[in-house]
Amino acid sequence: MALIETTGLGRVYNEKTVPVEAVRRVDLQIEKEEFTAIVGPSGSGKTTLLNLIGGLDTPTSGRIVIDGTDIAGLTPEELVEYRLHHIGFVFQAYNLIPVFTARENVEFIMLLQGIGKEERRRRSEELLKAVGLGERLHNRPNQLSGGQQQRVAVARALASHPAFVLADEPTANLDSESTASLLDIMAQLNKDHGMTFIFSTHDNRVIERARRVVTLEDGMIKSETPVE
């Protein structure tokens, strides 16, 4: 069974009463341990598709089955709980809490999960060391570079032991050196720990590192390369 399977997935928005099909009849399977990029021009539907898979948006039609659970059938409350325990997110804008230290930002999702203080601290320090920020545990976001903030975001995404990580344009605000470092970290986590990463991107630096590329056009899959 695929880790993620979408069938006939569609999302229609009504902009000033004119329907806009952001995603149209998407059939997609993602297996465990993939390192996949979803690509396409602006307006192709790649971010919408990522948001649907992540339960941040609801489909107009079709199904999204993750590890045997059809998340399109969950209530809003059930979706919140599902995201908390099964999906890691890395956003373009980092979305770190400004008044929290790096360690506190990573710990926060575990706090929401009800994990005890000692385990939160142990796991957050372990993850920050894994992304090269073992010496920055007590720094707040404004004391970190953009690349360092994004690495905190990656550590936070992994803190909940998710089934997979969704990364929406994670390198958009990073320079070449920070991008290379971030992708190295993600690729190593994928290789060593079998972590599944799905990127929405138009960045060739990400596309070149992906082991599978799914291309969207006008909300539909135009082409896809096989998993390497």
Give pLDDT, residue 11.
95
- Looking at the domain that runs over 4-224, which CATH code has it been given? 3.40.50.300
Tell me the pTM.
0.90
Q: For residue 213, give both structure tokens.
A: 């590329």
Residue 15's pLDDT is what? Answer: 64
Nearest Cα to 59, choosing from 112, 9, 17? 9
Q: Residue 216 is encoded by which pair of tokens?
A: 């969207």
- The residue behind tokens 């297996």 is 31
* Average pLDDT per 10 consecutive residues for the chain, totaling 228 residues: 94 82 95 96 92 94 94 91 93 91 96 94 93 94 94 92 92 88 91 93 92 95 84
